[in-house]
Each structure stands twice: as C-alpha cells, then as structure tokens.
C-alpha cells in the first residue's frame, strides 16, 4: 500500500474576503474530489484571505500509480485556479 500526501499553498491576490476565499476553496475541493476521488481539505491559514493551503491524500497499490495520481491532481489544480502555486510538499509513504 502506498499513500500519497500533498500540501499545496496557493496565493490568490484578487480575494478580498474570507467569503470569497471559501468559495474558491469549495470549488477547487469539489472539482478534485469529483474527478479523482481523493480526500482534500483546507488545512492551514484559514484566517488569511489571500493564502489557501490545501492537503490531499490518495491510496494506491503501487508507487508509480500514486506518484502519477499526485501529478495529475497538481496539474488539474494548477489549470483550474487563477491563483499562483507558491509551495508544494509531497510525500509518498510505502507500507
């Protein structure tokens, strides 16, 4: 079993309220969940309206599949948000 865990930080300079930020976060999370069937949530910086920190995880039977899934999700997030990805921390845990 392989677990792919990722923390991604996105800068959204056009967001001027926590309500706007919640709409962006909810949109990204629901699109990723629907397309890839992974667990995703906002994990840090909930009170800062221009920074979004998301965490997601996937489980697979092979390292190559987990790595490929993580790559696809990151590319999908990058293509579906106007924000700038400023940091990505990824980890593959093999059991």
Domain count, the chain: 1
CA distances from 13 to 25, 61, 91 (A): 14, 39, 28
Provide the whole-model pTM.
Answer: 0.86
| C-alpha–C-alpha distance, residues 22 and 30, integer Å | 12
Residue 78: domain span: 2-94
Q: What is the CATH number of the domain that holds 13?
A: 3.30.70.1120
Q: What is the pLDDT along the chain (95 residues), one digit of tens a residue?
A: 889 999 999 999 998 999 999 999 999 999 999 999 899 999 988 888 899 999 999 998 888 988 899 999 999 999 988 889 999 999 998 87
């Amino acid at each position: 079993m392989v677990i792919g865990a990722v923390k991604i930080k996105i800068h959204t300079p056009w967001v001027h309220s926590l309500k706007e930020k919640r709409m962006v976060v909810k949109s990204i999370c629901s699109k990723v969940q629907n397309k890839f069937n992974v667990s995703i949530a906002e994990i840090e910086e909930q009170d800062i309206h221009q920074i979004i920190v998301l965490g997601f995880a996937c489980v697979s039977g092979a390292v190559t599949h987990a790595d490929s899934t993580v790559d696809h999700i990151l590319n999908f997030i990058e293509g579906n948000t106007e924000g700038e990805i400023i940091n990505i921390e990824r980890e593959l845990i093999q059991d």
